[in-house]
Chain A
Amino acid sequence: MNAPPTGKNFGRPVRRLEDGRFIQGKGRFVDDVILPRQTYAAFVRSPYAHARITELDAAPALEMPGVLRVMTAADLAGVANLPCGWMIHSRDGSEMKVGARPILASQIVRYVGEPIAVVVAETRDQARDAAEAVMVGYDELPVVVDCADAMGPDAPQLHDAIPHNLAYDWGLGDEAAVDAALAGAAHKVELTLRNNRLIPNAMEPRACNADWDAYAEKLTVWMTHQNPYGMRAMYSGVYGLAAEHSLRIVSPDVGGGFGAKAPNYPEEVAVAFAAKLVCRPVKWTADRTEAFLTDAHGRDHLTTATLGLDAEGRFLGLKVDTIANMGGYLSTSGSLIPTYMYATMLSGQYVIPAIHCRTRAVYTNTCPVDAYRGAGRPEAAYVVERIVNVAARALGLDQAEIRRRNFIREFPYQTPVVFEYDSGAYEASLDQALALADYNGFAARKAEAAARGKLRGIGVAAYVEACGIGPSALLAKLGAGAGMWDSSEVRVNPVGTIEVLSGAHSHGQGHATTIAQLVADRFGVPIESIRIVQGDTDRAPAGTGTYGSRASVGMSATLLACDKIIAKGKRICAHLMDVTEDSIRFEDGVYASAATNRTVPFGEMAAAAHAANAFPTREIEPGLVESSFFDPPNFTFPSGVYVVEVEIDPRTGVTQIVDFSAADDFGNVANPMIVEGQIHGGLTQGIGQALWEEARYDPETAQLITASYLDYGMPRADGLPEFRLSFGCTPSPSNPLGMKGCGEAGAIGSPPAVINAICDALDIEHTDMPARPERVWKLCQQKGAR
């Protein structure tokens, strides 16, 4: 399948076609959409993390100026609860236990910010004023925040019939084989670590604007989302808001998603129902506090891992036991993240003959957790890449050398945990990263830093991840509630412009450029003649959205649709050129044949297709529109090696990243400039997790105490180094473009690389993220005392 297209555009750093409007403030986001007869919604939210609702009286709000309606659970009688999209079975074969999550709570609230009612008013401020007038009475209940505490005998139980707050106790791999491997191992190392809870913080908060057309019985919902088609299926099939053919989801420009704009949330559904009740368009735009409290959080694992090695440092078995915090409810993909997106990646880049993972997912009085940039894969990479360094330290091996001894070198490679890695060149990436970092010169730099009173450390981390999610049949076996192919329709218009309707949806990735690069080269036409259409279910035929670095799936569908156009063009040109179809070649935008001197440029063929007067229309249909659905035969497996150097000031505990060298392998890349941008962003988010970011709840009240930028430490440019990037290329055989995906890589590989460097600087086994200055200072104090 591997035939990478190369040309004037594809593979080159073409400037992003969409940036003009973004830079000039001309983007169109959901909040920019103002409809005639617009109204505004505000939510009544629980101020308590766990409470029984004793009273709910909307009457005072209804008397407030401008108020049209207050919608509560009573207005949604018979409407389905929010579903979790992935069925996970426990080790005993039982189905996961799903705590019922209503659109609006009426009995029990289980996290701070859970919506209880929605007020619709003429203006945003009127809606907010009135939301405060809704009377809600609460009986507070005890709370649990920490995933380790949730299963304890004294922990409050969040959901009836879910004892110990345990959603599932799941396993993957051959436990007996791992136990045997560990029993016979010359060396064993064990590590307990936490993967800190993160808040996604897209620049554009969640927003929707729902418009019910009572005449056409059609519902249109403008929604900032990564998967408009998935939402259409959900809104129609699950909630019955409108028939699928009468339900239009439009996601215009989306100001960042990072996974947090992929779930099905209660607020947007509630607004859609409210629009039907008031028969006017209803808009809701989350404020930043709502985003902190209710956008699905990421990570939050507590893990113990044991790695067995032979006398030479070769891995024999890895046993992992993880407790994953789900929050108050299972979010749309919440159950999937710490299972099949996580345990399947625990082989890392290594030959590990036996792997077992047990994951217990627990409910706590916190915001539901779902996919966040990497979604399970960063958690896995963190476990593997940390314990490998712990092992290197225990065995006295260099951290690069221990990896070298264990790399997978032959592909395809079947891991013991589901996946068959399709391609890779791990040692080449290691060598590239070490060279870029001048790894051998580190000792001198460490000595020089020591002379300045700084502790310098170096960290290596090698990651592999699974992207390009599909194939649908495998996903169904893993519990998926929907297929994950993608689709594209290519329309060549009579005057020569080309519309590409794509089922993927860019939320910052630059699809308007990269897909156009592909099509321009395929047809040999100017890139300016191409328009990419995404994010509108009334326009593109179908799709499954953008997440998990899966644009290669949608772009492959576009490629296949282009090739259908080219093939039809050959049939048309056979008549125009009066030669046989199989003698025609299409190169550089021109149809040519050895049988004639006559050539037909692509545009002329397109005009002829629409004129429909030079070929028999009973054999060849007029027009030039083709579509394709692509279901990949396998995931893709991007990989890379990061080498980080840090300097720690032992007087303050401040960690400065002084050097960052990356060697990534994304297979073929559509646009290296965009890829570099994705890496910079991913590395920044990973460094943010390693050094600053952490969602913290008060253990007594389960109030989110990092609910603003005053308290939640975002990564900033002044805390980042110049990134030194390099790229290898082993094309993926899993799609016709040979692409692998790059959106999440940086956030997956960088947290362990940074922590490995910090542990090296401090000569310690482990420290948890985020390595805040005080935490590191205390480690320095202990080191000084040793």
Chain B
Amino acid sequence: MYEFIYSRPATVVEAEALLDPNGDATALSGGQTLLPVLRARLASPSRVVDVARLSELKGIRIEGDRIVIGAAETHAAVSNNPLVIEALPALARLAGGIGDPQVRNRGTIGGSIANNDPAACYPSAALALDAVIVTTRRSVGAAEFFTGLYGTVLEPGELVTAVSFPRCRRAAYVKFPNPASRFALIGVFAAKTSGGTRIAITGAGYGVFRWREAEERLESGGSTSDLESAALPEDAFTSDLHGSAEYRMNLARVVTAQAIGEIDV
């Protein structure tokens, strides 16, 4: 990697100061994306600001009918947390299926949400459940927060501090892993919420999205077999080395049916 200044601020305010919007500093959380990029010399920030140990970004707590997870909580912490397992068991299982133990003990929910990798798992849960992304400057609903391929509304210097999910015991996440990377070739987070049935798909290629036609069919009493003919947004699916759009669309149907099946058990 190229030379850079490593900073470990003690507070979020200090971190924000270091992440000067006019500079090229980068925030480092679990580093599961950033460090490989740095090692491959694909980025050369002058400063890396390590926010992973900030106490203000830590903690998992219940707030009324929501569960709030600090941005610096690792996948391992989320997957093993009794509050998460009780309030939102599908999220605990999702977190426990990311990467491998090394990744899960380093990677964080805030890092994943902020990076919005089109094959990441967390964005699907956030979108399906209308999570609220809390940043150093505001609170944003997931539907507004994610803006496509690696895109979010985060502005330079703005940090995710927490993610707030509604409690939901009737939810499931099923991932069809890419055999090489184990990222989602297709991942589906399905939930039956007070607002209705929600289906969010990740891995399709251009960023997480909701499969509204399927949601409507299931809401209007359809069964998983009706998903076979539910229209998918074709332009949301890409063809690449790992699968054609046609195959990904097939997986979206199969995996959605599996996820719905898990909820309805």
Contact with A along B98-124 (1 / 0, CB 8 A): 000000000000000000000000000
Closest Cβ of chain B to A36, distance in Å, is 25
A653 closest partner in B (C-beta): B247
A652 touching B254, Cβ below 8 Å: yes
Q: Is A85 part of the contact surface with B, judged by Cβ < 8 Å? A: no
With known contacts A711-B242, A777-B250, A289–B180 Cβ distance under 8 A: no
Give the complex CA separation of A778 and B251 in angstroms.
Answer: 12
B180 touching A714, Cβ below 8 Å: yes
Q: Is B10 part of the contact surface with A, judged by Cβ < 8 Å? A: no
Q: Which residues of B contact A711 (CB under 8 A)?
A: 180-181, 241-242
Q: Which residues of B contact A132 (CB under 8 A)?
A: 41
A774 touching B244, Cβ below 8 Å: yes
Q: Which residues of B contact A783 (CB under 8 A)?
A: none
Contact with B along A139-177 (1 / 0, CB 8 A): 000000000000000000000000000000000000000
Closest Cβ of chain B to A706, distance in Å, is 7
A128 touching B41, Cβ below 8 Å: yes
B180 touching A651, Cβ below 8 Å: no
Q: Which residues of A contact B43 (CB under 8 A)?
A: none
A705 closest partner in B (C-beta): B241
Q: Which residues of A contact B254 (CB under 8 A)?
A: 651-652
Q: Which residues of A contact B41 (CB under 8 A)?
A: 128, 132
Interface SS, B side: loop
Give the complex CA separation of A778 and B250 in angstroms.
Answer: 11
B179 touching A774, Cβ below 8 Å: no
Q: Is B243 part of the contact surface with A, judged by Cβ < 8 Å? A: yes
Interface residues of B (CB under 8 A from A): 1-3, 39-41, 176, 179-181, 183, 241-244, 247, 250-251, 254
Q: Which residues of B contact A773 (CB under 8 A)?
A: 179, 243, 247
Give the complex CA separation of A712 and B243 in angstroms.
Answer: 13
Please name 18 further chain A to chain B contacts, defined as beta carbons within 8 Å, in addition to the given A125-B2, A651-B254, A705-B241, sorted by A numbering. A132-B41, A651-B250, A652-B176, A652-B251, A691-B179, A696-B241, A706-B241, A709-B181, A710-B181, A710-B183, A711-B180, A711-B242, A713-B179, A713-B180, A719-B179, A772-B179, A773-B247, A774-B244
Give the complex CA separation of A706 and B241 in angstroms.
Answer: 9
Closest Cβ of chain A to B256, distance in Å, is 12
B1 touching A692, Cβ below 8 Å: no
Q: Which residues of B contact A128 (CB under 8 A)?
A: 41
Number of A-B residue pairs, CB cutoff 8 Å, is 47
Give the complex CA separation of A696 and B179 in angstroms.
Answer: 15
Q: Is A129 part of the contact surface with B, judged by Cβ < 8 Å? A: yes
A125 touching B241, Cβ below 8 Å: no
B180 touching A712, Cβ below 8 Å: yes
Closest Cβ of chain A to B109, distance in Å, is 21
Name the 3 nearest CB pairs between A and B, nearest first: A713-B180, A710-B181, A774-B247
- From B1, B40, B180, B243, A774 is in contact (CB under 8 Å) with B243
Closest Cβ of chain A to B108, distance in Å, is 20
A710 touching B244, Cβ below 8 Å: no
Q: Which residues of B contact A696 (CB under 8 A)?
A: 241
Closest Cβ of chain A to B110, distance in Å, is 22
Q: Which residues of B contact A289 (CB under 8 A)?
A: 40
A775 closest partner in B (C-beta): B247
Give the complex CA separation of A128 and B3 in angstroms.
Answer: 11
A692 touching B243, Cβ below 8 Å: no
With known contacts A652-B254, A774-B244, A709–B3 Cβ distance under 8 A: no
Q: Which residues of B contact A778 (CB under 8 A)?
A: 247
Give the complex CA separation of A711 and B240 in angstroms.
Answer: 11
Closest Cβ of chain A to B146, distance in Å, is 21
Give the complex CA separation of A194 and B41 in angstroms.
Answer: 36
Q: Which residues of A contact B183 (CB under 8 A)?
A: 710
Closest Cβ of chain A to B179, distance in Å, is 4
B247 touching A777, Cβ below 8 Å: yes
Contact with B along A757-786 (1 / 0, CB 8 A): 000000000000000111001100000000
Query: Which residues 609-655 of A have a CB within 8 angstroms of B?
Result: 651-653
B180 touching A692, Cβ below 8 Å: yes
With known contacts A128-B41, A774-B243, A774-B247, A709–B2 Cβ distance under 8 A: no
Contact with B along A702-734 (1 / 0, CB 8 A): 000110011111100001000000000000000
A692 touching B179, Cβ below 8 Å: yes
Q: Which residues of A contact B242 (CB under 8 A)?
A: 711
Q: Which residues of A contact B241 (CB under 8 A)?
A: 696, 705-706, 711
Q: Which residues of A contact B3 (CB under 8 A)?
A: 125, 129
A-B contact pairs, 14 of them (CB 8 A): A125-B1, A125-B3, A652-B250, A652-B251, A653-B247, A691-B179, A692-B180, A706-B241, A711-B180, A712-B180, A713-B180, A774-B243, A774-B247, A777-B250
Q: Which residues of A contact B244 (CB under 8 A)?
A: 774
B180 touching A710, Cβ below 8 Å: yes
Closest Cβ of chain B to A613, distance in Å, is 63
Give the complex CA separation of A691 and B40 in angstroms.
Answer: 28
Give the complex CA separation of A595 and B40 in angstroms.
Answer: 75
Give the complex CA separation of A541 and B249 in angstroms.
Answer: 63
With known contacts A125-B1, A129-B2, A709–B180 Cβ distance under 8 A: yes
Q: Which residues of A contact B1 (CB under 8 A)?
A: 125
Closest Cβ of chain B to A451, distance in Å, is 18
Give the complex CA separation of A117 and B100 in angstroms.
Answer: 38
Q: Which residues of B contact A714 (CB under 8 A)?
A: 180
Q: Which residues of A contact B181 (CB under 8 A)?
A: 709-711
Q: Which residues of A contact B251 (CB under 8 A)?
A: 652
Q: Which residues of A contact B250 (CB under 8 A)?
A: 651-652, 777
Give the complex CA separation of A705 and B241 in angstroms.
Answer: 8
Closest Cβ of chain B to A186, distance in Å, is 42
Q: Which residues of B contact A706 (CB under 8 A)?
A: 180, 241
Q: Which residues of B contact A705 (CB under 8 A)?
A: 241
Q: Which residues of B contact A710 (CB under 8 A)?
A: 180-181, 183
Give the complex CA separation of A773 and B179 in angstroms.
Answer: 9
Taking each of A706, A710, A719, which has the highest tally of chain B beta carbons within 10 Å of its own beta carbon? A710
Query: Which residues 189-247 of A have a CB within 8 angstroms of B?
Result: none
A652 closest partner in B (C-beta): B254
